[in-house]
Structure 1
């Protein structure tokens, strides 16, 4: 994982794969999150990411512990409209990319520079339009 992409301050945003790997205690993601925090970056995620990442086998105690150290960004009417506009601008459909659009919209509102940890590099690049540094997991 590209640690050299992290900066001083700014924001590290996790998508569902980033959250899943953090919940599974996967060393590269745990190390990246720890380094981001040590550099003064805020670690955040979109509220919808929780819905996408959590399943019946999720360790609820671990989930609660992880979420206690992350700022969860709400999605309201204004954010949903902005995410919809991102979908239209990228030529994507909400049926398949709704949560990605909400994550991208949240990323675009964070303190810069923003690093987005995602498994959907191509789609997120379309939605974020080059304003967010995207790191694949």
Structure 2
């Protein structure tokens, strides 16, 4: 994982691409998650990310095993309203950004420092600002 050192403690958040690549056993993502855990970081995922990442060919047993070591953050009315406000603040709207907003809102509430593994650096930067360190996967 040269060049991608994570910080001590805090939280590692996986978005859809982060979870998908972990499910696919991509070495760089597996290494980042392992390093985060070794440094005492909690690994978290939004409940909506599970829906977004799973498909017909998803290995359900592997998904269950990976999620067993991950904290799943649920989305209620308060979180939905906060995510909606983040969208408005970032000048974004619509279904294309809805789950990103939920993940971003969840990420900013986690124990700091927060690192978010994402394939959507531009939109997540608009939503999270400087509050979350973004790492491209």
1:88 aligns with 2:92: no
Which residue is equivalent to 1:134?
Answer: 134
How many matched pairs?
136
Alignment TM-score, normalising by the size of structure 1: 0.97
Is the 8 Å Cα contact of residues 84 and 94 (structure 1) preserved in structure 2? no
Q: Which moved more, 1:71-80 or 1:93-102?
A: 93-102
Return 5+ residue gaps in structure 1 as ranges: none
What's the TM-score, normalizing by structure 2? 0.97
Q: Within 5 Å, give how 1:42-121 maps onto structure 2.
A: 42-121=42-121
Task: Measure the CA separation in 2 of the matches of 1:117 and 1:134.
Answer: 6
* Structure 2 stretches lacking a partner, 5+ long: none
What is the aligned-residue RMSD (CA, Å)?
A: 0.8
Partners of 1:16 and 1:118 within 8 A in 2: yes
SS at structure 2 position matched to 1:3: coil
The structural deviation recorded for 1:130 is 1.3
